Amino acid sequence: MLTKRARKLALGRLRPGRRPSLHGGWPIPRAVDRDHADNRLDASTPAQAAALLARAAALTQQREFREAEKLVRLILERHPRHPAALVELGRIAYASGNQRAATDCLRNAIVVEPNNARLHNELGCMLIGLGERAQAFRCLLRAREINPDDPDILSNVGSFHLGEGQVSEAVAAYRRALEIDPDHFKARLNLETALKKAVAPWHFPMMNDTSRNSLYAEAIRRVVPGRTVLDIGTGAGLLAMMAARAGARWVTSCEQAPWIAAKAKEVIAANGLSERIKLVAKHSTNLRIGQDLEERAEVLVAEIFGTSVINELVLPTVTHAHAQLLQPAQGSSRAPRAPAPIWRPARRWRQIFSSVGRRISR
């Protein structure tokens, strides 16, 4: 004769127990049976605590936070200073949306294991989520101090710098992480993002614009030979190298982005011009005569023009250079007007409008 439970199973009124957990063993079948199951759970030994912690982690991944928390608290009843249990409790709180409680759990774990770099790293990441970036950075730096060769920590330090707009520092951190672990996915992905911010994509078509570069080269050859040159916003060092090859007495070049300046030095060295070009990683308004330049330069070379010619602070930059960094004009030290390679927006817009059947007045 069928039991009452069997009849309900046959009629589909009662669900069977769940499948086994991925971590081994059977999870608690259903809420109605969990009180009895909890009585059989034990965390007396380290092995038992580890097994419960693994089950709690699996439940957290399944978003069964209440049941996961029950298991973790069973461990903490026996071992109040169990660092892994405190961390798991913090993860449960974080996944449940209680970020403040999560950081408290991690801080308690750090009290138990103050030299655990991973704990400082995880707390730093959580604090970033709470917007407490100053404290987060201190945690990340402490994690790096404890374990300077952990690629996860280095990658997180890089991401913090990137969020602060400190691209050079971010690139350095990501590169260090990849030196340690060349397959570190997040570090490689974030490095690409940082490099895109460090070097705007429009640099590449500009560098490969043959007609533009030819006009600059012609103007430089006419004006530069035998004179001293200041190159503002050197980028990859193209115009500085043109000036050196044209016979400039000396060339001082400046670039405000440290990452780009470092690459420009490599390019200049690869072309054998390091002894003829001095590159300074500063904004032109921070250059000093006698320190960065031997003396005031005779010729200014620059390609800091935006698509609207004067929209990249060209006028104040050139005005400052004439007042502070260049010798007073003697006669005409400007390049002839004919080859001046200034992009002409009106002409370009006429080309664009004509391509769609519209006209623009002169």
What per-residue confidence (pLDDT) applies to 42? Answer: 79
Of the three residues 172, 198, 224, the one that is the final residue of a domain is: 198
Q: 202 in helix, strand or coil?
A: coil
The boundaries of the domain holding residue 154 are 7-198
| Interval 239-294: pLDDT, tens | 999 999 999 999 999 998 887 888 899 999 999 999 999 999 999 999 999 999 98
Structurally, the chain folds into a number of domains equal to: 2
Is 355 part of a structural domain of the chain?
no
Residues 211, 138 share a domain: no
| Interval 149-159: pLDDT, tens | 999 999 999 99
Residues 183, 45 share a domain: yes
Residues 181, 154 share a domain: yes
- What does the mean pLDDT of the chain come to? 80
Mean pLDDT for the stretch of residues 53-57: 92
CATH number where 254 lies: 3.40.50.150
Give the tokens for residue 261: 């300046």
Residues 26, 170 share a domain: yes
Cβ distance 118 to 83 under 8 Å? no
Q: How many residues does the chain have?
A: 362
Cβ distance 251 to 226 under 8 Å? no
HEC readout, 278-340: EEECCCHHHCCECCCECCCECEEEECCCCCCCCCCCHHHHHHHHHHHCECCCCCCCCCCCCCC
Give the tokens for residue 234: 């050197």
Give the tokens for residue 139: 């945690």
Is 249 part of a structural domain of the chain?
yes
Of the three residues 178, 198, 218, the one that is the final residue of a domain is: 198
In this model, does residue 331 exceed pLDDT 90?
Answer: no
For the chain, the helix, strand and coil percentages under 3-state DSSP, each to the nearest 5:
55, 5, 35
Which residue has better confidence, 251 or 206?
A: 251
What per-residue confidence (pLDDT) applies to 309? Answer: 57
Is 125 part of a structural domain of the chain?
yes
Residues 194, 125 share a domain: yes
Is 227 part of a structural domain of the chain?
yes
Residues 301, 155 share a domain: no
pTM for this predicted structure: 0.56
Helices (H) and strands (E) in the chain, counts: 17, 4
Which of 19-28, 43-52, 195-204, 297-306 ranks highest by mean pLDDT? 43-52
Residues 167, 258 share a domain: no
> pLDDT-based confidence at 37, cuts 50/70/90?
very low
Of the three residues 177, 198, 219, the one that is the final residue of a domain is: 198
171/169 Cα distance (integer angstroms): 5
What per-residue confidence (pLDDT) applies to 336? Answer: 37
At position 251, the amino acid (one-letter code) is: V
What per-residue confidence (pLDDT) applies to 85? Answer: 93
Residues 169, 93 share a domain: yes
Residues 233, 188 share a domain: no
Residues 280, 188 share a domain: no
Residues 271, 193 share a domain: no
Q: CB count, 10 Å around CB of 210?
A: 7
Residues 187, 53 share a domain: yes
226/217 Cα distance (integer angstroms): 16
Which residue has better confidence, 19 or 223?
A: 223
Estimate the crossing angle of helix 167-180 against helix 258-270, to 10 degrees: 70
Q: CB count, 10 Å around CB of 92?
A: 24
> pLDDT-based confidence at 314, cuts 50/70/90?
confident
CATH number where 136 lies: 1.25.40.10
* Long-range CB contacts for residues 236-239, cutoff 8 Å, separation at least 24: 236/203, 236/207, 236/260, 236/263, 236/264, 236/267, 237/264, 237/265, 237/267, 237/268, 237/277, 237/279, 238/207, 238/213, 239/301, 239/302, 239/303
**257 alpha carbon, distance to own chain's centre:** 15
Is 40 part of a structural domain of the chain?
yes
What per-residue confidence (pLDDT) applies to 310? Answer: 60
| Interval 121-136: pLDDT, tens | 999 999 998 999 999 9
**249 alpha carbon, distance to own chain's centre:** 40
Cβ distance 137 to 124 under 8 Å? yes
